[in-house]
């Protein structure tokens, strides 16, 4: 036991998973006057929120303190169009091209590993961290991106920071942090067929609100969470920020260890055995208490879709827009109070983003699209989360399923989730999207986003309207 652990165990009392990770990363404890100095194990970097941070270091003549603890990639502004498999910088707009060049130069100067634009393992930063085994249980992980909460699925403390704090971490490998509060979200029962982690987390946000998690770190617990794959747990933690939470996390277990085993950056051999031994202790002590608790039974949950302009404006796909819905959201979305959501005509379907672009998400979408066609007049884009995910999907023939159904099969990137790279919807178009934000204009000026699971998105692509994926699953059974 280190002296640090010694000091912390002397404070006594059962601790939550969050407490244990926090305590182990405190370099200087917080007092009334100063926040804690918290150590960062993994710093993920992308092209959009880092250039000004590197500039700040240069102005102060500071080196990057621990380049080996950084991992960089390009995802937000990269083109994903099928023709651009060898993306040439010359073909890009000046501004994003400049960002990508700057990241290249900044990483090169500092000795930071960059999975650049034509690297075979590049992808969305929150997809490749786990995929490479860089994200590991017990770590502190930060990135200049709010969906960094994704990495909490591994039992890590992971959260988004702004560019000034990106500079702080580059310069000192530390952050100034006040200890957040904790919120336990218990998901009881088993998710029914056709209902996914995306539906569960949308239902949670609907219940606690888009500021329900503010100031808190969420620990997702319960039978439904334990039964989830790592991909599903990542979806859950990814959306913790949409409830305003600082972070989301799930205690690691055999599912976590199985996922990480053999990944390129995961420990090997004896180190792997030792790591698993340590990671098994990463769970809350019996009797550890949270600042707040929410419990929900998910065994009767229906697929969830949003009808408004924030992720808390959500209803079952079989439900109606609330009578009490706000005027601004209704006007933007073109919905009337009390209108059924199922059957709303759809122009675009987007399957992708750091929320739902992993192999199991693509498999789910393909399970609906196999032997079916995307409805006439609907543009369906499938954008894998990484080049590795893309290759694995292709080795299973998923690309054929999508293409034969009439969907587009893209290179990896953030794409239409944030609409920075040219993939965007038009004003007034309705998009059923597996991404994380239905904010006004998020997928293009005036575009109307309906958030949903990959199953619901695929079903809606086929129907040409918002559709309940469960009816498609039933049909498949009948045919079989």
Partner 1 sequence: MEAIEIIRSRTVVLAQANVDTDQIIPARFLTTTSRDGLGAHLFADHRFDAHGQPRADFVFNTAEAAGCQVLVAGHNFACGSSREHAPWALLDFGVRAVISTGIADIFRTNALRNGLLPVVVDDDFHKKLLASPGTEVEIDLRRGTVTLPDGAHAEFEIEPFARFCLLEGVDPLGYLLSKEPEIRHYEGERAWRP
197-256 positions binding partner 1, by CB under 8 A:
210-211, 214-215, 244, 246
Span 293-322, contacts to partner 1 by CB under 8 A:
310, 312
- Nearest to 140, CA basis, from 121, 161, 113, 159: 159
**Binding flag, residue 133, partner 1 (CB under 8 A):** no
Selected binder of partner 1 within 14, 328, 391, 471 (CB under 8 A)? 328
CA distance 93 to 421: 9
Taking the complex as a whole, the smallest distance from the CB of residue 401 to partner 1 amounts, in Å, to 30
State the Rg of the chain over Cα.
22
Span 25-54, contacts to partner 1 by CB under 8 A:
27-28, 32-35, 37, 39, 41-42, 48-49, 51-52
**Binding flag, residue 445, partner 1 (CB under 8 A):** yes
- Strand, helix or coil for residue 287: coil
Check if the beta carbon of residue 464 is closer than 8 Å to that of residue 345: yes
Instruction: State which residue, 175 or 425, has the beta carbon closest to partner 1.
Output: 175
Selected binder of partner 1 within 204, 416, 419, 431 (CB under 8 A)? 419
Span 68-97, contacts to partner 1 by CB under 8 A:
76-77, 93, 95-96
CA distance 161 to 139: 16
The count of chain residues that interact with partner 1, using the rule CB under 8 A, is: 78
The distance of Cα 380 from the centroid of its chain, to the nearest Å, equals 21
Span 144-163, contacts to partner 1 by CB under 8 A:
144-146, 148, 156, 160-163
Count of CA atoms in the C-beta half-sphere (13 A) of 440: 8
Sign of the CA dihedral with 452 first, then 453, 458, and 463 last? negative
Name residue, tokens 């006004």: 440
Instruction: State which residue, 244 or 319, has the beta carbon closest to partner 1.
Output: 244
Taking the complex as a whole, the smallest distance from the CB of residue 176 to partner 1 amounts, in Å, to 6
Count of CA atoms in the C-beta half-sphere (13 A) of 438: 28
Span 166-195, contacts to partner 1 by CB under 8 A:
167-168, 171-176, 178
Instruction: State which residue, 150 or 364, has the beta carbon closest to partner 1.
Output: 150
**Binding flag, residue 361, partner 1 (CB under 8 A):** no
Instruction: State which residue, 27 or 89, has the beta carbon closest to partner 1.
Output: 27
Token couple for 200: 């569960």
DSSP H or E stretch at residue 159: strand 157-160
Instruction: State which residue, 349 or 414, has the beta carbon closest to partner 1.
Output: 414
Span 101-130, contacts to partner 1 by CB under 8 A:
102
Taking the complex as a whole, the smallest distance from the CB of residue 139 to partner 1 amounts, in Å, to 4
Give the 3-state DSSP-derived string for 72-118, with helices as H, strands as E and coil as C: EECCCCCCCCHHHCCCCHHHCCHHHHHHHHHHHHHHHHHCCEEECCC
CA dist 431 → 136, 281, 417, 470 (Å): 34, 43, 11, 20
């Amino acid at each position: 036991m280190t002296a640090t652990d010694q000091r912390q165990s002397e404070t006594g009392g059962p601790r939550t998973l969050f407490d244990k990770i926090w305590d182990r990363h405190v370099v200087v404890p917080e007092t009334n006057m100063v926040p804690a100095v918290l150590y960062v194990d993994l710093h993920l970097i992308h092209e959009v929120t880092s250039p000004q941070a590197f500039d700040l270091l240069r102005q102060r003549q500071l080196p990057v303190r621990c380049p080996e603890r950084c991992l960089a990639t390009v995802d937000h502004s990269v083109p994903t169009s099928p023709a651009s498999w060898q993306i040439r910088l010359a073909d890009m707009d000046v501004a994003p091209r400049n960002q990508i060049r700057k990241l290249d130069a900044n990483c090169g100067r500092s000795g930071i590993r960059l999975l650049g634009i034509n690297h075979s393992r590049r992808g969305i930063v929150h997809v490749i961290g786990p995929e490479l085994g860089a994200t590991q249980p017990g770590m502190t992980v930060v990135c200049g991106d709010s969906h960094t909460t994704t990495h909490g699925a591994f039992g890590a403390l992971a959260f988004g920071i702004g560019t000034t704090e990106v500079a702080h971490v580059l310069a000192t490998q530390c952050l100034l942090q006040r200890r957040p509060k904790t919120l336990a979200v218990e998901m009881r029962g088993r998710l029914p067929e056709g209902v996914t982690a995306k539906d569960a987390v949308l239902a949670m946000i609907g219940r606690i609100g888009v500021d329900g998690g503010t100031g808190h770190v969420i620990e997702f617990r319960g039978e439904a969470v334990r039964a989830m794959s790592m991909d599903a747990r990542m979806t859950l933690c990814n959306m913790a920020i949409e409830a305003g939470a600082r972070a989301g996390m799930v205690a690691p277990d055999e599912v976590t260890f199985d996922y990480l085993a053999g990944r390129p950056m995961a420990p090997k051999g004896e180190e792997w055995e030792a790591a698993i031994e340590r990671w098994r202790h990463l769970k809350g002590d019996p009797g550890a208490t949270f600042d707040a608790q929410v419990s929900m039974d998910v065994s009767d949950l229906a697929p969830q879709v949003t009808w408004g302009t924030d992720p808390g404006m959500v209803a079952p796909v079989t439900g109606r827009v609330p009578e009490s819905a706000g005027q601004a959201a209704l006007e933007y979305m073109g919905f009337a109070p009390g209108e059924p959501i199922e059957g709303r005509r759809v122009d675009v379907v987007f399957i992708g983003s750091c929320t739902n672009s992993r192999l199991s998400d693509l498999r789910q979408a393909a399970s609906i699209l196999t032997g079916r066609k995307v409805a006439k007049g609907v543009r369906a884009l499938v954008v894998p989360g990484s080049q590795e995910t893309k290759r694995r999907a292709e080795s299973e023939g998923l690309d054929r399923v999508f293409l034969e159904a009439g969907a587009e099969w893209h290179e990896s990137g953030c794409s239409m989730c944030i609409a920075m790279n040219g993939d965007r919807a038009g004003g007034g178009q309705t998009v059923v999207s597996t991404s994380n934000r239905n904010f006004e204009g998020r997928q293009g000026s005036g575009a109307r986003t309906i958030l949903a699971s990959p199953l619901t998105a695929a079903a809606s692509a086929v129907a040409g309207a918002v559709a309940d994926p469960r009816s498609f699953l039933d049909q498949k059974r009948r045919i079989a």
